[in-house]
A and B are shown apart, each in its own frame.
Chain A
C-alpha cells in the first residue's frame, strides 16, 4: 500500500503553555486547523485516532474528543504507546482507509504536562522506588551510560544533538527555544541524572497537533493541495522494565525501520531528511544506528562530526524537535516532515524528496517509523 494513503492536512495549536485549557479544547483547535489545511469539511471525518494524554487519567477519551468536534466515527480509539502512538495511529488509520473501514481519518494529539500535571514524567518505577529509581530521565540515563561505556560515546557528542536542534530552532518562528546553544553552555548545564544534564532533556510543553489522512485517489478527487504520500511505516516494541532488555544500546527502532523501509522500497541512503524523536540526546544517536544511517556505536560521531547539518548527508530535526521546537511527544515531527515534503519548512532542506520520521515512547519501550515522499 506504498503511497496509497496521503497526509492531506496538518494543524496545531501554539506551542508552549496553555494554562487552564483542557486537552479536549486543544484537540478541537488542532483538528480545526488540520481540516482547514486539507480543505475538508468536518462532517466527512469518519475515523478518529487519539493519543492517550499523560497529564491525567482519562476514560473513553476518544469519545470525549469526538463529542467536542461533533463527529461520530466509524472507527477509531485511543492508543497507549507513549510517544510512539502518533505514528502508530497514522499507520492504523492508513490501514483502516485501505481496508475500507473509513475514508477520512483524523489522527490527533493534545496534552498539558507543562501547566497541568507532569507526574507521568517523574513517577517512581515500582517496585524499585526504594532504590530511588524515579523518572524517565533516569531510564534514559541508564541507556546513555551503557552506550558511552560500551561504544565510547562522549558527553560532547550528546551535546552535539542538542546544539543541532537549537541551531535549527533559531530560524523557526514557531520554536520555543531560539537562543543558540554553545558547547560551553551545554557543558555547564547542571546534571539531572548523570550522565544526562539539563540540556540533554527535552522541553515539557502544552499543545495539540493533528493530521488528516485519506486515500491518494480521494485527495485527487477533492483537489487537495500538496498531499504527502505515506510510503512506509513500521513499529517495534519491547519489555516494560528497563533492566529486562537484552541489550540496552539497541532498541526496537531497528525492527520498526526495517518494516518501514521495506514497505517504502527504500534504504537509509535514499532518505533526504529525518525527524528523529529527541526526548533525550541519546535517543537520536541510538536511532541513527538502529535505522542503519551509521554503524552501531557510531551515532555520536555521526552527529558531532557534522553528518546532520543542513548541507550534510542527513539533516535531522530541522524544526528543532522536542529539544527546542516544543516538547510535544512526536506529532510536531510528523508535521515538520510534511512541511519538508511540501517545501514549506522554516528551515527547508533544498530538494528534499524523502523524509523519515521516528516516534518512540516510554524509555524506548515502543517505536514507530514513518516514511514520507514528495508532494503529489
Chain B
C-alpha cells in the first residue's frame, strides 16, 4: 500500500444512516420499508417519501439488481481516483425497488447493457464495507433464458 496516495472519501454517517453501514459491515445490504404504506427506498431518510410516515424498518436486499445506466470516468475529480481511471459508476435498481449509485466491477464497460441483471458484491474501502455490483453470471443451464430476458428488456 502506497501511503502517499490520498484516501478515497468515505461515506458520512449519521444517526439515520448508521444502520445501513452497520448492516453492510455485517455482510447484508439493507434498505428502508415504510410500515404504513410498504414503500421501499434508499438512501436513508426519516420519513417515507411516498406517505410521509415516520415509521419504517430496515429489510435485507436479495442482492439481485438491474443496471439502469452507467458512465466511465476518464477524468479524476478527486486525487484518490487518479490511479483507478477508467472506472465505472452506475445507477442500479434493486429487485426490491430502491435505486442507488454504485460501481460495476469486473466488467468491460463496452459489454454492459441497460437492464442487465446484476448481483451484489460487498467490498471494503479503507475498511468500510460498501455495496458494489457485478454482472450476474447465470447458471449454465439458465444461460440462454437469461440472454433472452436481457434482449427482451432492450
**Chain B hits for A143, CB < 8 A:** 69
Residues of chain B whose beta carbon lies under 8 Å from any beta carbon of chain A: 8-12, 17, 43, 68-75, 77-78, 81, 84, 86-87, 89, 91-92, 99-103, 109, 113-114, 125, 128, 130, 132, 154
Is the beta-carbon distance between B89 and A132 smaller than 8 angstroms? yes
**Chain A hits for B87, CB < 8 A:** 132
Known: A131-B89, A243-B100. A193 touches B10 (CB 8 A): no
Q: Which A116-157 residues sit within 8 Å CB-CB of chain B?
A: 122, 124-135, 137-138, 141-143, 145-146, 149-150
Q: Which of B75, B81, B114 contacts A150 (CB 8 A)?
A: B114
**Chain A hits for B70, CB < 8 A:** 142, 145
**Chain B hits for A146, CB < 8 A:** 68-69, 114
Q: Which of B10, B74, B102 contacts A192 (CB 8 A)?
A: B74
Known: A130-B128, A142-B71. A149 touches B103 (CB 8 A): no
A-B contacts, 17 of them at CB < 8 A, read A126-B12, A127-B12, A130-B9, A130-B130, A131-B101, A132-B77, A134-B73, A145-B69, A146-B114, A150-B114, A192-B74, A193-B72, A242-B101, A243-B68, A243-B91, A243-B101, A248-B69
Is the beta-carbon distance between B125 and A193 smaller than 8 angstroms? no
Is the beta-carbon distance between A194 and B71 smaller than 8 angstroms? yes
Known: A192-B75, A243-B91. A131 touches B69 (CB 8 A): no
Residues of chain A whose beta carbon lies under 8 Å from any beta carbon of chain B: 122, 124-135, 137-138, 141-143, 145-146, 149-150, 190-196, 241-244, 248
B5 to chain A, nearest CB (A): 14
Is the beta-carbon distance between B102 and A122 smaller than 8 angstroms? no
A118 to chain B, nearest CB (A): 11
**Chain A hits for B69, CB < 8 A:** 142-143, 145-146, 149, 248
Is the beta-carbon distance between B71 and A130 smaller than 8 angstroms? no
Is the beta-carbon distance between A127 and B114 smaller than 8 angstroms? no
A76 to chain B, nearest CB (A): 33
Q: Roughly how many angstroms separate A243 CA and B43 CA in the complex, as a whole number?
A: 10
**Chain A hits for B8, CB < 8 A:** 129-130, 132
**Chain B hits for A138, CB < 8 A:** 71, 73, 77, 89
Q: Roughly how many angstroms separate A134 CA and B99 CA in the complex, as a whole number?
A: 18
Q: Roughly how many angstroms separate A191 CA and B73 CA in the complex, as a whole number?
A: 8
Q: Roughly how many angstroms separate A122 CA and B103 CA in the complex, as a whole number?
A: 19
B28 to chain A, nearest CB (A): 18
B42 to chain A, nearest CB (A): 9
**Chain B hits for A134, CB < 8 A:** 73, 77-78, 81
**Chain A hits for B113, CB < 8 A:** 149
Q: Roughly how many angstroms separate A138 CA and B12 CA in the complex, as a whole number?
A: 21
